[in-house]
Amino acid sequence: MTQRPRTMRLACMFSSVLLFGAAGLLLFISLQDPTELASQQAPGIKFSRPWQPHQDLPPGGSKDSDLEVPTERVSRDLSSRAPRGLTLPVPDQPQPLLQRGTRLRLRQRRRRLLIKKMPAVATILANSSETPCIRPGPRTLDGRWISLHRSQQERKRVMQEACAKYRASSNRRAITPRHVSRIFVEDRHRVLYCEVPKAGCSNWKRVLMVLAGLASSTADIQHNTVHYGSALKRLDTFDRQGILHRLSTYTKMLFVREPFERLVSAFRDKFEHPNSYYHPVFGKAILARYRANASREALRTGSGVRFPEFIQYLLDVHRPVGMDIHWDHVSRLCSPCLIDYDFVGKFESMEEDANFFLSLIHAPRNLTFPRFKDRHSQEARTTARIAHQYFAQLPALQRQRTYDFYYMDYLMFNYSKPFADLY
């Protein structure tokens, strides 16, 4: 009699074990994320990934913690304690929200991939002893952050395509000190800045001096200190090994400007105001060559050059005086087809681009790009409207020839034609 109850108890225990095992298997299958499975296997081949705990994360942390939105906090806390490849459901959450959460996680994975592919970020992370992520803060976590990354990718793509099409031999040329003579070095934050005059270069030099610890504020640095001091080193002052080392490990950036606006800005600055260098050196030569019946006083001082006379000088292949950095091509100043710049900013979006760059290099939070006008502060900045007024003084043929002169800058930096009749 005692043998039969014992047999029944063993049968019940065995049945319970089987039921619990089947239930566990069903639960495991239901918790699998189909997006993870799809990315891990090809047709006809199955791959398995061993379970690995997040040993490199703090308790309750997650690899996505700096990019997740607050509505995913519960899911993030649960998934941080789950094996990779599993997504635990959020309790009491309807199915549509779960699907939106899956799409959100996919977008966040794509965002992390984009960040990893960003050359500037890659350089910064390689040179940083901090946690390998962009420092959270008001400059980086707003809705514009990913858009700015995409804008950088697009600008570099356009620049590289123009170089591939029109400067095919550039990648075979060796970099010489001349190619890097306009590049300034800031070693503390490992930054190389190519100076493009009339595209915010004075204020950028002020920012570099603050980054280097040479000043506490950009407002404290005078114009002459910026341009005639020796506080900032140029890249061509280093030996070849020092040049190549910095080009390969530092974050390289330049800022550009719409070419016609930059040209008019340079003309207004150098020829419409007293200037002890540009009037006697350029003004006298321009007036002597291109103004009929110039007065003796004009020839003596070089003052009073008109914009059409300046354009005649610029387009003359036999110029009476050479080129100047203030109106030279960006493609000649910075050699973007030879040097692979990590960041391309634009004067037209200076504040946003500049402060985004400062976030990328982990600059002090209180350092922002200065807004003040360096010289002739009472005079309006050169805008598209003002540039049009100056170019309206020219015949259509000269406007076309000037556009052709700066064609590579227009093409390389994706600026639109400033006049409808240009081709």
Please give the Cα distance from 338 to 167 (Å, whole number): 9
The H-or-E segment that residue 192 falls in is strand 191-194
Confirm if 350 and 259 have CB atoms less than 8 A apart. Answer: no
- Predicted confidence at residue 230, as pLDDT, reads 78
- Predicted confidence at residue 155, as pLDDT, reads 97
Q: What's CA 279's distance to the chain center, in Å?
A: 37
- Predicted confidence at residue 64, as pLDDT, reads 36
Please give the Cα distance from 320 to 317 (Å, whole number): 9
Please give the Cα distance from 231 to 204 (Å, whole number): 13
Look up the pTM and report it.
0.67
Q: How far is CA 100 from CA 82, 94, 110, 144, in A?
A: 20, 11, 15, 21
What residues does each domain of the chain span? 143-166+174-260+328-376
Each of the 423 residues of the chain gets a pLDDT tens digit; together they read: 455 556 666 666 766 667 766 666 665 555 554 434 333 433 333 333 333 333 333 333 333 333 333 333 333 333 333 333 333 333 344 444 434 444 544 544 444 444 334 444 333 333 333 333 333 344 445 677 889 999 999 999 999 999 999 876 666 678 999 999 999 999 999 999 999 999 999 999 999 999 999 988 888 888 888 877 778 999 999 999 999 999 999 999 999 999 999 999 999 999 999 999 999 999 999 999 999 999 999 999 999 999 999 999 999 999 999 999 999 999 999 999 999 999 999 999 999 999 999 999 999 999 999 987 777 767 889 999 999 999 999 999 999 999 999 999 999 999 999 999 999
Please give the Cα distance from 343 to 338 (Å, whole number): 15
